[in-house]
Amino acid sequence: MSDALVFLVTGCASGIGKHLAGAITRRGHQLVATDVNSAGLEAAAKEGGWGERAVLHPLDVRDEQAWEAALRKALERFGKVDVLLNVAGYLKPGYSHQLDAAEVDRHFDINAKGVVHGVRVLGRHFVAQKKGQIINIGSLASLTPVPGLCLYSASKYAVRGFTLAAAQELKPHGVKVTLVMPDAVQTPMLDLQVNYDEAAMTFSGPRPLTVEELEHAILDVALPKAPLELALPFGRGALARLSTFLPAAVVGLAPLFTRRGLKKQAALKGKGS
């Protein structure tokens, strides 16, 4: 198809990235699907039937040289890149006074520095060709601090700050930048949080978003309209933004949401037993 785009997407072995990879190829676009988990990436491609529209490439987002190699791979295979989707992320619940030092590095290296390296490398390419689009996946935790997920929240705050600044820097060069900030999404990252009381706030919403809802938000809204920010769902996003203006009020509401989340966690544990 003449209007087919070339996407470079991270975190394609599972979760949101895996679903987006399939959606992109089904919609007739071309894809460089990347993940640090090469075996998982191959299995996802086979399961999803990504076909010849997709090329698989191992990528550790923490490695700037690996980003350069991924870009070369895209240009060799497709001759261009139109869109960068920074999806890869990491989360392990934990309270601030109990954190392992390695987890500090892992959260910031993957969630924040991984996004920065991707924008650095693809941003230079997009500036040179005078067009391109970058969509970074943040979180509602980019807007409001989440007790029990302090490292994840802090790293996603960093993603938001960097994305908003980069959007202003790249706009004069014809490069569009959007930050998508979803609430909890039904993925393996959500499943792993069920058994952590620290993650109770994650389960405090009415229901988790589906990967199909993320597909719509990213490919049908963020891609064509290029808003600066997109928070999902609207109601929870508006509530999360309160922390900017009324942080004390949000802190006061936290115990209520924690109790609600713990009840839902208990129910989910019961279903799994």
pLDDT in tens, 101-147: 999 999 999 999 999 999 999 999 999 999 999 999 999 999 999 99
Task: State how beta strands 6-9 and 175-182 pair.
Answer: unpaired
- The DSSP bridge partners found for residue 135 are 85, 178
Q: 262 phi and psi, to 5 degrees?
A: -60, -40
151 phi and psi, to 5 degrees? Answer: -70, -45
Mean pLDDT, residues 226-249:
91
With a CB cutoff of 8 Å and minimum separation 6, the contacts of 131 are: 82, 174, 175
Q: Is the pLDDT of residue 2 over 70?
A: no
pLDDT score, position 26: 97
Sheet with 30-35, strands from edge to edge, namely 54-58, 30-35, 6-9, 83-86, 132-137, 175-182, 229-232
Q: Where are the beta strands (DSSP E) in the chain?
A: 6-9, 30-35, 54-58, 83-86, 132-137, 175-182, 229-232
| Average pLDDT of every residue of the chain | 95
Is the predicted pLDDT of residue 273 greater than 50, yes or no? no
**H or E segment at 161?**
helix 150-170
Give which of 165, 163, 150 is closest to 86, Cα–Cα.
163
- Residue 1 has a pLDDT of 41
Confidence label for 223 from pLDDT (cuts 50, 70 and 90): very high
Distances (CA, A) of 209 to 185, 187, 205, 212, 236: 4, 9, 10, 8, 11
- Cβ(191)–Cβ(144) below 8 Å: no
Q: Which pLDDT belongs to residue 214?
A: 98
> What are the pLDDT digits (tens) for 167-202?
999 999 999 999 999 999 999 999 999 999 999 999
Active site residues: 152
Query: pLDDT class for 272, splitting at 50, 70, 90?
Result: low
